[in-house]
Amino acid sequence: MSMRARFLLMAVLIVGVAACASEPIQFYTLIPPDSAMPATGVAGAPYQIEMLPVETPTQIDGPQMVLRRGGGEILLLETRRWIAPVADEVRSAISNRLTRELGTADVYGLPRTRDAAIYRIKVELNRFESYLDRSALIEATWSVRKLDTGAAPLVCKTRTEEPVTAGFPALVEGHQRAVVRIADAIAASLRQMATAQAASCP
């Protein structure tokens, strides 16, 4: 290879590396706009919720998006990220939906400010899978328990797979819809508990 050819090859490599290094990072959130997922509940619930931190598999507990492909292949995307680790994003999104849907407040980490019943909610992600241009899948085990009583918690599992169109924004919207479905399932059971009905899994 001539000196000129080596120089041109080196220049192409440098430009390529610089282009990759300068690719902007895109950030996404699991909390949908209010207009996208309107709440159907009413304000003024006589109870509060305590949304505990979400447990999630180690493989996805980070801000980077993780895509699944055929044959068990996993792709970790450095330039496509959630605004916070997945566990924190899921917790925020479920809390946001529940407080709006139930018309109450999330008092996790706060002192009790009034004499009101508190329902503790715990969520564990079993699966959080992203299939670009295909679907967004979330499977979660969750429980609801009224504090200061001897009642056992209600434990349920919800699995939802949302079809999506092409592109990352559509994939993110699919995950937003899936989280809302899980939150709405929790809300339905919690309403049963709060009205002294026999609570059951949706």
* DSSP E strands, the chain: 26-28, 47-51, 64-68, 74-82, 117-131, 135-146, 154-163
Per the model's pLDDT, the better-predicted residue between 1 and 26 turns out to be: 26
Work out the number of other CB atoms within 10 angstroms of the CB of residue 88: 17
pLDDT digit string, tens, across residues 160-200: 999 999 999 999 999 999 999 999 999 999 999 998 777 88
Residue 67 has pLDDT above 60, yes or no: yes
Q: How far apart are CA 43 and CA 151, in angstroms?
A: 26
Fold classification of 25-194 (topology level): Rossmann fold (3.40.50)
State if pTM tops 0.75. Answer: yes
Residue 20 has pLDDT above 60, yes or no: no
Average predicted confidence (pLDDT) for the chain: 86
Q: Which residues are registered as beta bridge partners of 82?
A: 28
Cβ-contact 148, 66 below 8 angstroms:
no
